[in-house]
Structure 1
Amino acid sequence: MKTSLQIKMGQQLTMTPQLQQAIRLLQLSTLDLQQEIQEALDSNPMLESEEFDDNSDSGNESDNDSRSSDSDNNDRDSHDNRESSSDNQDYDNSYDDNSYDDQSGQESLDEQWSSEKLPDDLPVDSQWEDTYQVSAGVASSSGPVDEDFDYDSRYATSDNLQDHLLWQLNLTPMSDADREVATMLIDGVDDDGYLHTTVEDVIEAMDPSLEIEEEEVMAVLHRLQQFDPAGVFCRDLRECLLLQLHQLPQGTPWLTEAQLIIRDHIDLLGSRDYQSLMRRTKLKEDDLKSVMRLIKELNPKPGAGIASEESEYVIPDVIVRQIRDEWRVELNPEIAPKLRVNADYASLIRRSDSSADNTFLKDHLQEARWFIKSLQSRNDTLLKVATKIVEFQIDFFEEGDEGMKPLVLHDIAEAVGMHESTISRVTTQKYMHTPRGIFELKYFFSSHVSTDSGGECSSTAIRAMIKKLIADENTRKPLSDNKIATMLGEKGIKVARRTVAKYREAMLIPPSNERKQLI
């Protein structure tokens, strides 16, 4: 086969690295974006954050004025003060090396002291920290409170239910054999406080030489069932509620009747068959209501309150406010710091120099500019999409969920002149802070259901209507799914019974037979 060279012309779509970077930043969540920005600040010397503004010029002038005034009064004191200030500054520099994550942290600390104007006299009965901001490393306990201090992570306990029970076990006098049995029982408790280890399992796991009998295990179990929280180490719901009732004072009203219902008629209570319950317990309706109030105060999952779950916070990307009857949309300025090109490093670049150092600076300068441009493009696109969403769903912000209109990605894509995939990236893991709460941008997109008038109603509005109907229903005769569908049909909304059931289950609302209440 003979080799040859051929020239062909064709068209193809390619994605430049800059476009790939812009698309990647567009779909990042707030936390991922902050991490991406921090990595860019650490790796690119041309990038810096505008949080650390250089105001050293005015600070130096005020410093010079202060020093000249001190020099006129006493040259020796001024010289000693400058030496002391220099020593303290060196101490602060060595002490606070790890106080900042970025490269300009130490410089900003130096600028902080040089940019502040020293007053002649401080106010009476004031602290030094009230006038000057002290760094985190040398701040005293009486300093100002940091607004960003995370109290949850500082003071939250990390103990789970097992740790809480072991702590109580260490305070309880027991023999070594009983303590080993108690430890096995604690290991068999789940997060809700229910015991899943049987007595036979404990005896089988114990050393045969100890000759542990069933009565000894039950004695230890009864002792552990007195631990906090009340109802822990129960083996079923009946035992859980009875343990909690047993720990109530003997003079508690309706305590005996509540124990009778839980012990002998818990099945009727679960099925909400109040007529049979009153007939078997010989209680009148008002008396049964009082007993039910006492039972409702019990906790069916006593261990759930001890679970160590860290709080998760959502940082909104967009903020919506109503100012003078006008809805305004703006980006959250706290989600990401403002970036700029470091002017000092940029001034070192020489145009006609092709050395390795100059090439290094040029490459990082171009990379920094593209990164800032990609961030700006992301912010502009996010603001544009959020503004259109607010315009489409203006009834939601004024009326609530019932005013939500049907909306799909294609509608927003046409309004802003973008592709649906771009709108999908923008609205994923992005949140909007509104007077009605914080919602993901995806929340404002929903399917629709036809109405008798030929219009459309969003599924979100239908859910809100179902929730409102159930909230206003008679608890003695709850509305069935078929009845709710009929009531919606009277409002002109065509929806089937199975659709009502699907929406109800999505909102975690039980069926009508489980919503029946006596009080």
Structure 2
Amino acid sequence: MASLDIRVAHRQAQAQTLSPRLQHAVRLLQMSSLDFAAMLRETLGRNPFLEVEEGEDGEGGDADATPADWDDAPPSLLQDALAPQAAPADMSDVDPDGGFDGPAATHDDDGAHSDGDRELWAADGASAARGAGDGEFGALDLIAVDTPLNEHLHRQLNVLPLPARDLLLARAIVESLDDDGYLRTPLEELLDVAELDPAVDLQELQIALRCVQALEPAGVGARDVAECLLLQLPTIACTDTRALARAIITDHLPALAARDTAGLARRLRQPAARVEAACERIRRLDPRPGWRIGSSQVPYVVPDVIVRKVRGQWTVQLNPAVVPRVRINQVYEQLFQRHRTPANAELGEHLQEARWTLRNVEQRFSTILDVAEAIVKRQQAFLDYGPMAMKPLGLKEIADEVGVHESTVSRVTNNKYMATPVGVLELKSFFSRAMISANGSACSGTAIRSLVKDIIEAESPDAPLSDAEITRQLAQQGLVVARRTVTKYRQMLKIDAVERRRRAA
């Protein structure tokens, strides 16, 4: 019998790892401007050492002013936490970025620092006290609060005379709806959601689903587009039109999407005018009923950088609207440094987080500006002459120029936008691989996509060009492009296929 040989070997190796702080900085760099602003607002809300820098117009009051009623003002939580305490005899050193780097300051019995502390607190509280008038409302206080879709549906369920068991199942279905108002989860998977005795069966869930589908907005709780449209058919007043629309949605939904009115008229054996009227009425239904409830704010793109031509040269600058004006509250920092004790270790962590946040903000926008400047330097022809002049560009070129890794450039260009004279463009749209033409010159995919758009716009309305015909025209101009590539570019341009363009004509 062979013996088992077990050995223990020790080996040393060097490897690069990302510290938690660096991982956090990488995540911040990848965020869009809106997500980054939301994260920063959340950090401002929980970190007492961070504050918004006041504007030049003086809003927020003079920091040197002292309110007359400061003696009656209640002490803040931070003031209570930083109240002078007797330091222990032995105190170990802590991180200087936010903790303790030596013995705590001692305090005399007569409160030598009390007068200075009072002046600091009064200076910091002046602006807040001035702007907080009793009984006054601002414009933001009068804005209506948006109601989420699930809360809107729960309110309707609360007024229905449902047994407790049925109400619980209906609420479970409401919580499973997506933002469009659809139930994407199969009912079978919801059987184990509600732990009821006796166990829930599929028929009970179907009854609860019908209850949810009867709520407003019409069409909510559908499991596909056809069911969503069918749930909204009662809004059609004409009986004949409603019956014809039901037949179209149930059996001929692809033909409806293709706008094949003639084919629908033949299959349904109805006049083309009636079929067209029914199709038009169906198109007025809402395929995403959940969008009617919820946030009323329209999302829009805010550019991170702005490109202008000044004295014949393209210049890049950060958009002031997206650059946060935050700083460390010097009053709180001085008070913490004066009264720091082991009991205030949590405040030391907050101070360290505040300093890291400021460094991350500076690094984020500095990197974005450097990458944007490198992109503009290589794509000046595009800014001067349009998409046909876009040059091929790779991440490595910009990474070498800025002095960072390609992955960093990829994170910077994701969800970051540049305002140019030709429109607001995502930074990653300036990158494309080189496509070699017949004469050996390199051409970018953006230029070919622009050429495809020009060819389609110049086609005859009576004889639209297919993707294969567009491919042949590109080949005649020395650009060898696959037909599937032309199809991809046409879809990116949101241009219908040749069959739909022919019917529309």
- TM-score, shorter chain, exceeding 0.5: yes
Which residue matches 1:424? 409
1:92-107 alignment to 2 at 5 Å? Answer: 94=75
Q: Report the CA distance between 1:91 and its aligned residue.
A: 4.1
| 8 A contact 2:398–2:409 mirrored in 1 | no
- Equivalent residue pairs, number: 418
User: Which secondary structure does the structure 1 equivalent of 2:475 belong to?
Assistant: helix
- Please say if 1:164 is aligned against 2:152: yes
Q: Output the aligned Cα RMSD.
A: 6.1
Residue aligned with 2:220, SS = coil
Return 5+ residue gaps in structure 2 as ranges. 1-15, 80-97, 99-116, 335-353
Tell me the residue number matched to 1:230.
218
Please report how far the alpha carbon of residue 447 of structure 1 lies from its aligned counterpart in structure 2 after TM superposition: 0.9
Hey, what's the Cα distance between the residues in 2 that align with 1:498 and 1:176?
A: 56
- Taking the aligned partners of 2:389 and 2:480, their CA distance within structure 1 comes to 17
In the TM superposition, residue 496 of structure 1 has moved relative to its aligned partner by 0.8
Larger CA Rg, structure 1 vs 2: 1
The Cα offsets for residues 51-90 of structure 1, whole Å up to 9 and x where unpaired, read as 599x9xxx899x9xxxxxxxxxxxxxxxxxxxxx764133
Residue 365 of structure 1 is matched in structure 2 by none
Relative to 1, partners in 2 of residues 1:311 and 1:92: Cα closer, same or farther, differing over 3 Å? farther
Q: Are 1:484 and 2:474 counterparts?
A: no
1:292 aligned residue (279, 285, 299): 279
Which residue matches 2:7? none
Residue pair 1:341, 1:369 contacting (<8 A) in 2 also: no
Match of 2:71 in 1: 90
Contact persistence 2:28–2:36 (CA under 8 A): no
The answer on 1:390 being equivalent to 2:376 is: yes
Residues 246 and 327 of structure 1: CA distance in aligned 2, closer, same or farther (over 3 Å): same
Match of 1:155 among 125, 142, 145: 145
- Write the mapping of 1:177-196 to structure 2, written as runs, cut at 5 A: 179=167, 182=170, 186=174, 192-194=180-182, 196=186
CA distance in 2, matches of 1:389, 1:475: 39
What is the rounded CA distance, in whole Å, between the counterparts of 1:186 and 1:32 in structure 2? 31
Going from structure 1 to structure 2, the CA distance change for 1:249 and 1:308 (only over 3 Å counts) comes to same
2:418 counterpart (413, 425, 433): 433
Deviation at 1:314, TM superposition (A): 6.5
CA distance in 2, matches of 1:52, 1:278: 66
Give the fraction of aligned pairs with identical amino acids, expressed as a percent.
31
- 8 Å CA contact 1:476, 1:517 repeated in 2: no
Inter-partner Cα distance in structure 2 for 1:232 and 1:262: 17
After superposition, what is the alpha-carbon deviation per residue over 1:322-357, rounded to whole angstroms, capped at 9, x for unaligned? 457754311334524487998xx99xxxxxxxxxxx
Instruction: Give the letter for the 2:317 counterpart.
Output: E
Letter in 2 for 1:451: S
1:240 counterpart = 2:228: yes
Q: Deviations over 1:276-319 (max 9, x none)?
A: 32212334445443332212112334345446799877665422
Q: Is the 8 A contact 1:408 1:445 kept in 2?
A: yes
Structure 1 unaligned regions, length at least 5:
1-13, 64-84, 114-131, 347-367
Gap change, CA 1:228 and 1:255, over 3 Å in 2: same
Equivalent position amino acid for 1:302 in 2: P
Q: What code does the residue aligned with 1:156 have?
A: D
Contact 2:170 2:212 in 1 (8 A): yes
C-alpha change, 1:279 and 1:330, in structure 2 (3 Å) is same
CA contact (8 A) 2:180 2:288 kept: yes
Say if 1:267 and 1:437 are closer, same or farther in 2 by CA, change over 3 A.
Answer: closer
Distance in 1, Cα, partners of 2:499 & 2:146: 40
Query: Judging changes above 3 Å, is the alpha-carbon distance between structure 1 residues 499 and 25 closer, same or farther for their aligned structure 2 residues?
Result: closer
Counterpart Cα distance in 1 of 2:384 and 2:462: 34
Give the corresponding residue for 1:330.
317
1:8 counterpart residue number: none
* Offset, 1:389: 1.9
Q: Which of 436, 459, 463 is 2:449 aligned to? A: 463
Letter in 2 for 1:445: F
Q: Is the 1:322–1:328 contact (alpha carbons within 8 Å) kept by the matching residues of 2?
A: yes
Equivalent-residue separation in structure 2 for 1:110 and 1:186 (angstroms): 51
Task: Name the SS for the 1:155 alignment partner.
Answer: coil
Q: What residue is the counterpart of 1:358 in the other structure?
A: none
**1:493 and 2:479 are equivalent in the alignment:** yes
Bigger CA drift: 239-248 or 498-507?
498-507
Task: Note if contact 2:416-2:426 (Cα within 8 Å) is conserved in structure 1.
Answer: yes
Of the candidates 293, 300, 308, which is equivalent to residue 321 of structure 1?
308
Q: How does 1:201-280 map to 2 (within 5 A)?
A: 224-234=212-222, 236-250=224-238, 254-266=241-253, 268-269=255-256, 273-280=260-267
Alignment of 1:357-368 (within 5 A): none
Q: Does the CA contact (< 8 Å) of 1:241 and 1:299 recur in 2?
A: yes
Distance 2:252 2:419 in 1: 48
In 1, Cα distance between equivalents of 2:362 and 2:205: 68
Q: Residues of 2 paired with 1:182 and 1:24: CA distance?
A: 42
Match of 2:345 in 1: none
Give TM-score, length-normalised by structure 1: 0.57
> Helix, strand or coil: the match of 2:307?
strand
Describe the shift of the 1:95–1:463 C-alpha distance in structure 2 as closer, same or farther (beyond 3 A).
same
Cα deviation, 1:365-422, whole Å, max 9, x if unaligned, reads: xxx99999998787666545423322322343355544422122444466x5746659
Output the amino acid matched with 1:463: R
SS in 2 for 1:227: coil
Residue aligning to 1:141: 136
1:173 to 153, 156, 161: 161
Q: CA deviation at 1:172?
A: 2.8
Mapped partners of 2:480, 2:155: distance in 1: 59
Please give the alpha-carbon distance, in whole angstroms, between the structure 1 residues aligned to 2:356 and 2:383. 37
Distance 1:340 1:187 in 2: 41
In 2, Cα distance between the equivalents of 1:426 and 1:265? 45
